[in-house]
Structure 1
Amino acid sequence: MKNGLEDVIAAETRLSDVDGPAGRLIIRGVSLDDLVADGTYESVAALLLDGLLEAHVNAEGLKERLGAARAEIYAYVVADATLLALPPVDAMRALIARLPDGEDFETAFRLLAAPAVFLPAVLRIQRGEAPVPPTASISQAADILRMMTGRLPSVEQTAALDAYLVTISDHGLNASTFASRVIASTHAGLTSSVLAAISALKGPLHGGAPGPVLDMLDAIGAESHAKTWLAAALDRGERLMGFGHRIYRVRDPRADALKNALKPLVATGQVDRSRITLAEAIEKAALAMLKERKPDRPLDVNVEFYTALLLESLGFPREAFTGVFAIGRTVGWIAHAREQLLEGRLIRPKSVYVGPFPIAA
C-alpha cells in the first residue's frame, strides 16, 4: 500500500502521458510544445475527444457545435442572489449542477460550453453588470474574453488564452481527473463526473494556487526586495507559490509554454512589462535560493507561476482563476470519463482496516 496512491496504476489511457523525470507532457501522441505552437482550444478538444464521442471529431466541426452549445447554455444563466454571493467557482459549479445529466455527445458539448459561459456571466453579475450573451460564430477563447469584458479581444489576447486552455487541457490521472473517472465508472453521467472534478479542483493542493502567486508578487513589490522576502518566507517554513510539483522533477513544461504565450502581449504593450520583469527576477532569485537551501529536493517553476501572470494580464480576477482552469480542463475530464465508460469497469479499490477489533467475551 502507498499513501496517496503514489505510483499506483489505476487506469490505462490513450489520452495523456506525464513524464515527471524528463519534464515532458504528451497529449494523444502530440507533445505539448507542438500543441501550443499550432493549436487552439478547439483543436486540442477535437484531439482529446476523437473516437470517444463519435467516430471522428474535427476542430472546425467542433467549433461550430461548441458555439451553438454556448448559445443554448446561456438560457441557464440566472442572477440568483444566494448563488451569486458564492465564490465564482462555486457559483459556476452550482449553475452546471442544473444541467441535465447523460453520457451522450449532446451532454458533452453542453458541459464544454457551460463553464465558458457561466464564469464570465457570474463575474459580470457580481460586478453589478449585465451578462453578455455568447457569439456562436467565434472561437471559445475569444468568446470567453468577449463575454467577460463586453468587447472583442485582440488577436494576441485570444492566442494567449488559447495557449492556456491547450496547456491545461489534460494532465494524466491527477486528483480531479481521477474523481471524474470514478464517477463515470458508476454510470452516473457526464454532468456528475464534471461536478465531482470541479469539487476536487477547487482544493488548494490541486487547482487553487495561481492566485497566491500574485499575492507573493504584490508582497515583494520590487526586484530589490525579492531575496529578503523569499529568504524570510523560507525561514518561516512557508512554501513558495509557483515552485515545485508532485510529479515533475525538473521544470514543468507548461510553465515555459505560458511564459512564451505572454511575450506577444508584452511586445504589443497589452500587459505591464514591469510586472513581468518583477516576476522573472523573483523566479531567478527563488530558483537560486531553493537550490541552495534544498539541494536534495528538485524544486522548479510549475504551471501556476505563469498561469497567474497570464490570467491577470487578460483581466481575470484572482478569485476566478480556478474557474478558468476548469474551463480548460473540462475537456480532459470528459475524455477520461468517456474512456472509462467505454473501456473500464466500476472503480472499487480495497482499503486496509487498521482500527480496533471486538474483544471476545
Structure 2
Amino acid sequence: MAKVTGLEGVVAGETDIGLVDGERGYLVYRGYWAKELAVTRSYEEVAHLLWNGHLPSAEELNLLKQEMAAARSMPEYLCRMIDLLPASVPLMLVLQSAVAALGEGNAAWPPTQKQGMRLTSVLPTIIAYRYRKLNGLTPVEPLSELGHAANYLYMLTGEVPADTHVKALSAYMILCMEHGMNASTFAARVILSTESDMCAAVSGAIGAMKGPLHGGAPYEVISMLEDIGTKERAEPWLRHALNSGTKIMGFGHRIYKTKDPRAEALQIATQEMIGNDSSFDLALHVEATAIRLLDEYKPGRRLFTNVEFYAAAILRALHLAPEIFTPTFTAGRIVGWTSHIMEQAKSNRIFRPQSVYTGPMPEAEF
C-alpha cells in the first residue's frame, strides 16, 4: 500500500464558502473573485458576504458596522488574565488563551454569527492591547467611528492612520479571510464537529496558525528585503542566491501555478503607496528583478510573486513589528474560520478518519 501522509488530495467535505484553484489562479468567495472584493469592498462588507452568503445592503452594512464597533472592547477579566501572562509568552499563544477564555458562557450549540462577529471584532483589540503593554505603552481604546482595519492600526499606533495605509491593510486582511480547507480551517471544523463551541474551535485554529509552516512566511521575506537593503544591491544579491541554490522567498506557491491572485489584488491596492514609501518601492524593485532572474535561471517553472511577498512589503511599509505579522494574518482569517464553523454545524458529522497501522502484531491470538 502506498504511504499516505498529509491528506493531500483527499476531499474532506463540501463548502460553498470559497474555491481555491491553483492551476487557474482562482480564489473565489461565495461567487465573487476575492481579488476584486479586496480592492472594491470594505472588510465589513466581505465579512457579511462570508457569514451570510450575500453582500450587504446599505442598511445591513450600517448595522454590521455598528455591531462590530460595539463588540471591540475587552472584558475586564480578560485584561487581567493577559496582564498576568509572562512577557515571554508569544502573542499567538496569548490569542489562543484569550479566545478560549471568551468561551466562558458562550458555549451554546449551534454556533452563531453573533459569536463570530464578536470574536472578529475583539481580536484586533487583544493584539493591540498585548503589543502596547509589552512595549511600555498605554493601551488605546477602540474608536467606534473608524472601520475595522483603520481602528486596528489606530489601536496599534495611537494615531488615526492614512487612507492609503488603511486601504492596503484592509485589502490584505480581506485576502487572508478564506483559503479553502487549509490546516487551521480544517482544525476548526474537526473541533466543532465534536459539538464543541466556537471559541474552542477558533482557539484550536489559532494553534494551527501558530506553526511556521502555516502562518509564518512573511518573516523570511522581510529578512531578505532588509538584507538586500538598496535597489542597487538587489540584482547582485538575487544572482548570488540563485547561483548558490538559495530559495528566493516570496516567489512560487505550493497551490498556485500561476500568479497568486492575492498578490495581484495587493499590487492594485497598494498603487497609492508607490513613491511615498522607500521600503515599499524597494520591495517592488526586488519583485521585478526576482521575476526576471527566476525566468532566466529556471525557465518554465512558473515562479510568480505570492501573497507572502506582498504581505511582507505592506506590513513593513506600515511599520508593524514582526511579532504581530502572524497575529494580523489571524485577525483576517477569523472570518473564514467562523464561516466554516457555522457551515460545519449545519450538517454536522464528527470527523473520524481511518489510519493504516504499521506496528508489530502480537505473536499469537489472545
Distance of aligned partners of 1:323 and 1:74 in 2 relative to their CA distance in 1, 3 Å threshold: farther
- From 263, 266, 273, the counterpart of 1:255: 263
- The answer on 1:346 being equivalent to 2:354 is no
1:24 corresponding residue in structure 2: 26
Contact 1:131 1:147 in 2 (8 A): yes
* Corresponding residue number in structure 1 for 2:49: 47
Q: 1:288 to 1:344 in 2, by over 3 A?
A: farther
When residues 83 and 237 of structure 1 are mapped into structure 2, their CA distance, relative to the original with a 3 A threshold, is farther
- Aligned-partner residue type, residue 125 of structure 1: K
Work out the CA distance in 2 between the residues paired with 1:159 and 1:231.
34
Q: Give 2:183's aligned residue.
A: 175
What's the offset of the Cα at 1:350?
Answer: 1.1
Q: State which drifts further: 156-165 or 16-25.
A: 156-165
AA at the equivalent of 1:68: A
Instruction: Find the residue that maps to 2:28 and give its secondary structure.
Output: strand
- Count of equivalent residues: 353
Corresponding residue for residue 225 of structure 2: 217
* 1:5 pairs with one of 4, 7, 13: 7
Shift in Å, 1:280? 2.3
Q: Secondary structure at the match of 1:58?
A: helix
Q: Secondary structure at the match of 1:200?
A: helix
Distance 2:71 2:119 in 1: 9
Q: Deviations over 1:210-264 (max 9, x none)?
A: 1221110111122332233234434554332211211100110101211222222
Taking only aligned residues, the RMSD between alpha carbons, in angstroms, comes to 2.2
178 and 198 in structure 1: CA distance in 2 versus 1, 3 angstrom threshold: same
The answer for the alignment partner of 2:292 in structure 1 is 288
Q: How much has 1:86 moved relative to structure 2?
A: 2.1
With over 3 angstroms needed to count, the CA separation of the structure-2 counterparts of 1:175 and 1:257, relative to structure 1, is same
Aligned ranges 1:22-171 → 2 under 5 Å: 22-50=24-52, 58-73=60-75, 76-78=78-80, 80-100=83-103, 101-102=106-107, 103-171=111-179
Q: Secondary structure at the match of 2:349?
A: coil
- Alignment partner of 1:206: what SS? helix
Q: Secondary structure at the match of 1:4?
A: coil
1:139-190 deviations in Å (ceiling 9; x for gaps): 1111111111112122222222211111111111111111111111111111
Gap change, CA 1:170 and 1:216, over 3 Å in 2: same
Say if 2:330 is the partner of 1:326: yes
Provide the rounded CA distance (Å) in 1 between the counterparts of 2:41 and 2:331. Answer: 16
Are 2:96 and 2:204, in contact at CA under 8 Å, matched by a contact in 1?
no
Match of 1:305 in 2: 309
| Structure 1 unmatched ranges of 5 or more | none
Post-superposition CA distance 1:111-139 (Å, at most 9, x none): 11232111111111111011111123321
- Cα offset, 1:204, TM superposition: 1.4
Distance, in Å, in 2 between the alignment partners of 1:215 and 1:206 is: 18
SS of residue in 2 equivalent to 1:205: helix
1: CA distance, partners of 2:359 / 2:294: 40
Rate the CA distance shift 1:295–1:345 in 2: closer, same or farther, 3 A. Answer: farther
TM-score, length basis structure 1:
0.91
**1:43-97: CA deviation from partner (whole Å, max 9, x where unpaired):** 0100000169xxxx93322211111110255762245253443222222222222
The residue matched to 2:92 in structure 1 has which SS?
helix
> Counterpart of 1:25 in 2: which secondary structure?
strand
1:335 aligns with 2:339: yes
Unaligned runs of 5+ in 2: none
User: 2: distance between equivalents of 1:349 and 1:291?
Assistant: 42
Match of 1:242 among 224, 236, 250: 250
- C-alpha distance after superposition, 1:245-287 (max 9, x if no partner): 11100110101211222222335x3xx2x32332223223322
For 2:72 and 2:343, locate their aligned partners in 1 and report how far apart those are by CA, in whole Å: 24
**Is the Cα contact below 8 Å between 1:73 and 1:113 reproduced in 2?**
no
**Identity score, percent:** 41
Distance 1:263 1:287, change over 3 A: same
CA distance in 2, matches of 1:10, 1:335: 16
Asked if the contact 2:22–2:255 (Cα under 8 Å) also holds between the matched residues in 1, the reply is yes
Q: 1-side partners of 2:21 and 2:53: how far apart? A: 25
- Residue 297 of structure 1 deviates from its aligned partner by 3.7
The one-letter amino acid of 2:322's match is: R
Q: Distance in 1 between matches of 2:230 and 2:194?
A: 52
Aligned 8 A contact 1:42 1:60 in 2: no
